[in-house]
Amino acid sequence: MNGAVSQHGSSRPRVAVVTGGSGGIGGAVARRLAADGTAVVVHYAGSAAKAEAVVKSVTVAGGTAVALPGDVADPTEMTGLFDAVEERFGGVDVVVNTAGIMLLAPLAEMELEAFDRMHRVNVRGTFVVSRLAARRLRPGGALINFSTSVTRLQQPGYGGYAATKGAVEAMTLILARELRGRDVTVNAVAPGPTATPLFVEGKSDELIARIAAAAPLERLGTPEDIAETVSFLAGPAGRWINGQVLFSNGGIA
């Protein structure tokens, strides 16, 4: 893969940083981008073993991947991560922000500490990484942030979480306009219910079946479904998509 010609005619491989790359969606994104010939940096915050498992799955398939740790909300740590990526690979072409947490409760009952935790990772973390991406992405690059279809579904219990993702959408759409002339696209992906361990945890089979039936396609999304959307936005076919939120949800919203 290292000798592959990039989509922009260069002999150098494209390089992607995937935050939250040890998670269900993040891991699928890392594997999909690697299959496209991209060298992938699998970022993780707490699960080195899961990140290394993603790296192994990429390398076994013939791709290039490394795992690097960092707190997405800490500008010093994330600057260090970007420095390490540039030193190892020469630059960054794609940044995908899958890192995020979801804590659910009705607004009247949600603890402020829970809201602050989500805000720190989902909003501040996206801001810190997006700012670095805006400064460092090479021409032809792509920044892909993550929102949620709950911003349209307005489901009770999701108010605090959806509020953080509304902030992510606002930052994403404005940053796309601020990067005029840079040849860098900025978009957000908004998944619907997706069959990840995080989604399944704590839900009964009956509830999962009911959620799956809500979409016209009558199934849950898979991490691979979401990864295909990211691959499109990161690749040559998605270059004319900029400043958009793509709802990858099977028509549920």
What is the predicted pLDDT for the residue at 6?
47
> For residue 171, is it within any domain?
yes
Any idea what the CATH number is for the domain that residue 110 is in?
A: 3.40.50.720
Residue 6 belongs to some domain of the structure: no
Q: Is residue 4 part of a domain?
A: no
Neighbours of 26 (CB within 10 A): 30
Domain of residue 187, residue span: 15-248
Q: What tens-digit pLDDT sequence spans the chain (253 residues)?
A: 444 444 455 567 899 999 999 999 999 999 999 999 999 999 999 889 999 999 999 999 999 999 999 999 999 999 999 999 999 999 999 999 999 999 999 999 999 999 999 999 999 999 999 999 999 999 999 999 999 999 999 899 999 999 999 999 999 999 999 999 999 999 999 999 999 887 888 789 999 999 999 999 999 999 999 999 999 999 999 999 999 999 999 999 7
Domain count, the chain: 1
Gap between the Cα atoms of 118 and 120, Å rounded? 5
> What is the model's pTM?
0.93
E strand spans, 14-82: 15-19, 39-44, 65-69
Q: How many CA atoms lie within 13 A of 4 on its CB side?
A: 17
Give the whole-angstrom CA distance, residue 152 versus residue 221.
17
User: Looking at the domain assignment, is residue 7 inside a domain?
Assistant: no
Catalytic residue (one of 89, 127, 158, 161): 161
What pLDDT does residue 39 have? 98
Is the residue at 5 inside a domain? no
- Give domain status of residue 65, yes or no: yes
Residue 29 belongs to a domain: yes
Inside any domain, residue 141: yes
From 210, 197, 187, 167, select the one nearest 23 (Cα to Cα): 197
Strand ordering across the sheet containing 184-191: 65-69, 39-44, 15-19, 92-97, 137-146, 184-191, 245-248
Quick one: the chain helix, strand, coil %, rounded to 5? 45, 20, 35
- CA-based angle 102:104:109, to the nearest 5? 140
CA dihedral 208, 189, 223, 92 (to 10 degrees): -160
Angle value at C-alpha 100, between 155 and 134, nearest 5 degrees: 115
Buried/exposed code over 98-133 (b: 16+ C-beta within 10 A; e: otherwise): bbbbbebbeeeebeeebbeebbbbbbbbbbbbbebb
Q: Tell me whether residue 44 is one of the annotated catalytic residues.
A: no
What confidence score (pLDDT) does residue 3 get? 40
Tokens (6 digits) for 245: 């939120």
